């Protein structure tokens, strides 16, 4: 769809696209209108366009695309309807290609998932980073972990508002190689001709620090990645730990900057205070590399609620701040900003972005003349930061809390409006749930019989012909490996116990932690994205899928760690373990008292797992996600109703005596 949008834009806007190209395109549109397959003429049009000097992408499709097929062109069922939709006013170009492109990329990412830890950076967040750096026409812009090109596209949009994008150098590297062509198309649709986007990997980038000529670097790197072979490289701020490449990415970004360059990169909150990064943070202050740290709210990224920080860097701080005012860092706590949309994602609107970047740009003009704002921002000297153990860089540690305002009287209309809004979101969720059930039923009808495979055979790869690679079944470490005195009060690595398995996810309300040194000795029990953690005692059947934010956590004593083999969807697997069939089997085969039931590793290996085809697994998993979302919305609606009733009885609308 992106490739067809690019072709439509080119034909509509090019000075002379060529008679034969226009002819092929027109015939494809005409065939689509009569219901005939248009793919053959589209393919020919693409080949003609790619030979045109003004066409912005040399190869606008992936190698496996039907457009690249040298033989007979096989039709895609949606192409005719898509072509006809493009002819309806307003056309895609008139409606705003950037917005259409963003929606398609979000859909692609949601359906395909992420590899290499890359996340699709939300549009409002890419705008925040681009506006914070404010690149100008003629600058060189780099993203060393570009994903689908969202940050570079946001930089292009910002530059286009200041002048023409032509003459700007854009460079990107895709860690997930599936994103390579998507990034090229995304940038081309944002007016960037022949963008320099390459496939790469973290190890290769770290071993090639680059020429240091980028005026601006924007980056949302993979979090908490394990990268080996870093010890022999030159690191300006010190050797990063092998088990966590966050500080390797920070140093890579800094070395790619020119002498006047600035960078904005997204970091996990742990990078601001993790003990293994203390010396790196001190070295960054010593070299004048850090301008500001901005704490953002949770729920900005689809699929995860984890909050993040934005680190703003400079290759040479003296080029951006007044003389004598360089030994300080701006901290901004924007964790309470944002507007929640009906489908849960949080959005940083223009006013939020203006407030954050306005404060940053004011501070760059003069830190001393920029007043601190309680509950939002403050400028902190190096000396104050270094006085704190570990040189922490978390904004919440420095920004003074906002002064509490007197409690306002109950605004019944406001609360009822919020209740109506939540009711609307619940109704939308009900509609999506209904469609999800319909899809599940259609797919399930195609299953002739669903085998039950013992868990042991499935994970060890002995279920012949079902899986290409085996999985893993492992009981958590014994009590002697994690003793009571190993737990720490501050920082450290979370250890997942049965009480931390909440619903379909993980609860951190009372999670215990061990030191990073202790966790390194328990590497075989570390959690990886896509693993499933299952309770082995207490309420059996509690299970959750490990996401990126739990990567590196430790499976605790009271749990099992299960790593599904290739071909078994983790979300379906966890949903089955939580379902009535698995729960009944676990209850029947458990030992112990009624209050504390236990299942052993050997017995668990005999658990029969219903194993439908992958298509059925995916549809069932999606339906379970929709159910979880629907339940969450209903609980929030109930909680708000109870609040309205409580406040009313407390004197809000019911007269007090």
Query: What CATH code is carried by the domain that includes residue 310?
Result: 3.40.50.150
Express as a percent the part of the chain with pLDDT over 70: 83
Domain contains 476: yes
* Residue 115 falls inside a structural domain: no
267 in the same domain as 226: yes
Looking at the DSSP assignment, which residues form a beta bridge with residue 257? Answer: 214
Q: How many structural domains are present in the chain?
A: 4
- Please report, for residues 132, 190, 263, the alpha-carbon distance to residue 129 in angstroms, rounded to integers and kept in the order given: 5, 17, 9
Domain boundary among 79, 95, 111: 95
Residues 347 and 293 in one domain: yes
Residue 508 backbone phi and psi in degrees, to 5: -105, 10
Contact 322, 607 (CB under 8 A): no
Assess whether 594 and 650 both reside in one domain: no
Is residue 25 in a domain? Answer: yes
More confident residue, 189 or 526: 526
Backbone dihedral angles phi then psi of residue 26, each to the nearest 5 degrees:
-60, -40
Encode pLDDT of 625-649 as tens digits. 778 777 778 888 888 888 777 776 6
Those residues with Cβ within 8 angstroms of residue 301's Cβ, 6 or more apart along the chain or in another chain: 119, 120, 121, 122, 308
Asked, for residue 102, whether it belongs to a domain, the answer is: no
Residue 479, domain CATH: 3.90.220.20
The whole-number average pLDDT for the span 597-617 is 88
324 & 267 share domain: yes
Q: Which residue has the tokens 């049009």?
A: 45
User: Counting Cβ atoms within 10 Å, is residue 582 exposed (0-12), middle (13-18) or buried (19+)?
Assistant: buried
Three-class secondary structure of residue 311 per DSSP: strand
pLDDT at residue 289, as a whole number:
95
pLDDT at 93 over 60: no
Residue 588 maps to a domain: yes
CA angle 261–267–269, rounded 5-degree value: 140
Is there a domain that residue 466 lies in? Answer: yes
Q: Count Cβ atoms below 10 Å from residue 544 Cβ, excluding itself.
A: 24
Residue 574 sits in the same domain as residue 626: no
pLDDT of residue 71: 47
427 with 540, same domain: the answer is no
478 and 583 together in one domain: yes
Q: Within this chain, do residues 469 and 557 fall inside the same structural domain, yes or no?
A: yes
Whole-number pLDDT of residue 242 = 80
Could you tell me the residue range of the domain that residue 135 belongs to?
Answer: 120-397
Please indicate, yes or no, whether residues 304 and 240 belong to a single structural domain of this protein: yes
Residue 311: inside a domain:
yes
Same domain, yes or no, for 558 and 597? yes
Residue 569 burial (CB < 10 Å; 0-12/13-18/19+)? buried
Residue whose token pair is 């009624």: 594
C-alpha distances in angstroms, 333 versus 45, 218, 292, 375, 393?
51, 20, 11, 7, 12
Q: Assign 450 a pLDDT band (cuts: 50, 70, 90).
A: confident
Give the model's pLDDT for residue 263: 96
Residue 440 tokens read as 């599940």
Residue 306: how many CB atoms within 10 A of its CB? Answer: 17
Q: Is 528 exposed, middle or buried (0-12, 13-18, 19+ CB in 10 A)?
A: middle
Q: Which of 57-61, 116-120, 618-622 has the lowest mean pLDDT?
A: 116-120
Same domain, residue pair 311 and 217: yes
Indicate whether 113 belongs to any domain: no
Q: Are residues 617 and 606 in the same domain?
A: no
């Amino acid at each position: 769809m992106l490739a067809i949008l690019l072709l439509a834009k080119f034909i509509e806007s090019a000075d002379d696209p060529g008679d034969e190209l226009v002819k092929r395109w027109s015939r494809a549109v005409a065939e689509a209108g009569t219901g005939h397959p248009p793919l053959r003429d589209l393919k020919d049009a693409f080949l003609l366009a790619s030979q045109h000097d003004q066409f912005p992408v040399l190869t606008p499709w992936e190698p496996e695309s039907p457009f690249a097929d040298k033989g007979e062109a096989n039709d895609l069922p949606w192409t005719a309807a898509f072509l006809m939709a493009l002819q309806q006013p307003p056309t895609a170009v008139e409606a705003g290609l950037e917005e259409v492109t963003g929606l398609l990329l979000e859909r692609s990412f949601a359906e395909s998932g992420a590899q290499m830890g890359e996340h699709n950076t939300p549009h409002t967040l890419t705008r925040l980073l681009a506006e914070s750096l404010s690149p100008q026409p003629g600058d060189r812009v780099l993203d060393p972990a570009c994903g689908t090109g969202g940050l570079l596209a946001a930089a292009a949009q910002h530059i286009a508002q200041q002048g023409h994008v032509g003459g700007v150098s854009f460079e990107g590297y895709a860690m997930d190689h599936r994103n390579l062509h998507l990034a090229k198309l995304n940038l081309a649709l944002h007016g960037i001709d022949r963008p320099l986007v390459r496939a790469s990997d973290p190890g290769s980038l770290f071993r090639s620090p680059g020429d240091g000529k980028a005026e601006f670097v924007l980056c949302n790197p993979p979090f908490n990645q394990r990268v080996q072979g870093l010890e022999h490289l030159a690191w300006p701020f010190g050797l990063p730990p092998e088990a966590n490449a966050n500080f390797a990415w920070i140093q890579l970004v800094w070395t790619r900057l020119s002498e006047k360059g600035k960078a904005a990169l997204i970091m996990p909150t742990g990078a601001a205070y993790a003990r293994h990064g203390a010396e790196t943070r001190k070295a960054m202050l010593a070299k004048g590399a850090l301008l500001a740290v901005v704490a953002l709210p949770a729920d900005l990224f689809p699929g995860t609620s984890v909050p993040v920080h934005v680190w703003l860097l400079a290759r040479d701080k003296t080029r951006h701040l007044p003389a004598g005012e360089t030994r300080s860092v701006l901290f901004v706590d924007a964790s309470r900003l944002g507007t929640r949309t009906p489908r849960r994602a949080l959005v940083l609107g223009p006013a939020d972005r203006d407030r954050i970047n306005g404060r940053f740009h004011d501070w760059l003009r003069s830190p001393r003349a920029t007043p601190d704002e309680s509950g939002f921002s403050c400028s902190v000297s190096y000396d104050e930061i270094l006085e704190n153990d570990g040189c922490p860089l978390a904004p919440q540690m420095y920004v003074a809390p906002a002064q509490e305002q007197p409690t306002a009287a109950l605004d019944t209309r406001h609360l009822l409006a919020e209740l109506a809004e939540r009711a609307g979101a619940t109704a939308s969720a009900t509609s999506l749930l209904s469609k999800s059930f319909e899809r599940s039923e259609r797919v399930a009808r195609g299953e002739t019989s669903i085998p039950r495979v013992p868990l042991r055979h499935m994970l060890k790869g002995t279920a012949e012909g079902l899986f290409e690679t085996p999985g893993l079944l492992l009981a958590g470490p014994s009590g002697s490996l994690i003793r009571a005195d190993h737990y720490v009060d501050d920082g450290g690595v979370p250890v997942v116990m049965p009480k931390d398995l909440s619903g379909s996810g993980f609860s951190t309300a009372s999670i215990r932690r061990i030191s990073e040194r202790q966790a390194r000795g328990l590497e075989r029990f570390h959690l990886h994205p896509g693993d499933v953690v299952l309770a082995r005692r207490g309420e059996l059947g509690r299970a959750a899928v490990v996401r990126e934010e739990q990567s590196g956590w430790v499976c605790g004593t009271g749990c099992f760690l299960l790593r599904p083999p290739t071909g078994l969807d983790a979300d379906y697997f966890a949903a089955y373990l939580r379902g009535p069939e698995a729960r009944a089997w676990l209850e029947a085969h458990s030992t112990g008292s009624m209050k504390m039931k236990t299942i052993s590793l050997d017995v668990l290996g005999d658990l029969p797992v219903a194993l439908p085809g992958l298509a059925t697994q995916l549809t069932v998993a999606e339906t379970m996600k929709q159910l979880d979302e629907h339940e969450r919305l209903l609980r929030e609606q109930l909680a708000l109703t109870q609040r309205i009733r409580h406040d009313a009885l407390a004197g809000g609308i019911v007269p007090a005596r």
